[in-house]
Amino acid sequence: MRIDLAGRAVLITGAASGIGLACARAFLAEGARVGLVDRNTPPVLDGDVFAVRADVTDEPDLADGVAAVARHFGGLDVVVGCAGISGPVGRPLAETSADEVAAVLAVNVTGQILVVKHALPWLAKDPSVVLLGSDSAFTAAPGMVPYCASKGAVVALTRALAVELPGVRVNCVCPSVVDTPMARGDLGSILDAPGFPVQAADDVARQVLFLASPASRPINGQAVLADFGMSAR
Ligand code: NAD
């Protein structure tokens, strides 16, 4: 299969850690040019990289960050929305505040919409947008109401953007637990339990690469559920 991403200009939010960072490395390995957008400073990466600090919940800040990356590369071919937070995972609903719910939705939902909005004027021919959803959009666990709600919204906004934006492919990947700092923070050593179904950030990066590439050309408005078949039981 030809991934064919050499020379493509790729903007990744949440690129300083976990899945976003793995995506940055994977795109660079394919010869792409990669813009890293995160509220934190990413590690130094080899290749054609341009990094900006921006918060996806702060629209003027994000708009400036997206424009800086797009100007640097002379346009954008691919946008990957990885910035996300898990919020008050494991906390009963009765102890979850409106501010905590709003904070999760601001990053995971509004942030995803805004990065696409501000990338639009810079998109080149046949662009692809890949957003990070989660299997939490489809299968719930206790203590995750804000996060599950936010990821359900990512699936819905993926479809809405695909319909709203002719000529722009928009898909989301919905992985189950991925071994990243976020999951380590929420689940700790459960990830190391024998037989626990966990995937690596590099696994997700390959799913993102496929959806970003011409190899997935007919796929649009879809949520790709990558959960080892757990939701099929
Ligand atoms: P992570 O915490 O390792 O990385 C998230 C990155 O997003 C960080 O670099 C962080 O600084 C950045 N970020 C957070 N809020 C931001 C903001 N307001 N503005 C700019 N950057 C911001 O987490 P991860 O596990 O790599 O998660 C990446 C995405 O994948 C998230 O959307 C997450 O919900 C999703 N996801 C994760 C898992 C998992 O098990 N780790 C499973 C399914 C989906």
- For every residue of 165-185, DSSP letters joined together read STT-EEEEEEES-EESHHHHH
Amino acid sitting at position 81 = G
Residue-level pLDDT at 4: 87
Q: How many CB atoms lie within 10 A of CB 186?
A: 18
Residue-level pLDDT at 3: 81
Q: Let me know how many helices (H) and strands (E) the chain has, helices first.
A: 7, 9
Residue-level pLDDT at 152: 98
**All domains in the chain, ordered by first residue:** 9-232 (3.40.50.720)
Ranges of residues in the chain with a pLDDT under 70 are 1
ipTM above 0.90, yes or no: yes
Distance 82 CA to ligand 1 centre (A): 6
Mutate to test the pocket of ligand 1, among 37, 61, 173, 178 (most ligand atoms within 8 A of CB): 178
- CB-based burial, 43-80: b 16+ in 10 Å, e otherwise: eeeeebbbbbebbbbeeeebbebbeebbeebeebbbbb
Give the C-alpha separation, 62 to 66, whole Å.
6
How high is the mean pLDDT of the chain?
A: 97
If you take atom 36 of ligand 1, which residue's CA is the nearest one? Answer: 134
Helix (H), strand (E) at residue 125: strand 123-132
Nearest Cα residue to 67 out of 81, 50, 45? 50
If you take atom 10 of ligand 1, which residue's CA is the nearest one? Answer: 14
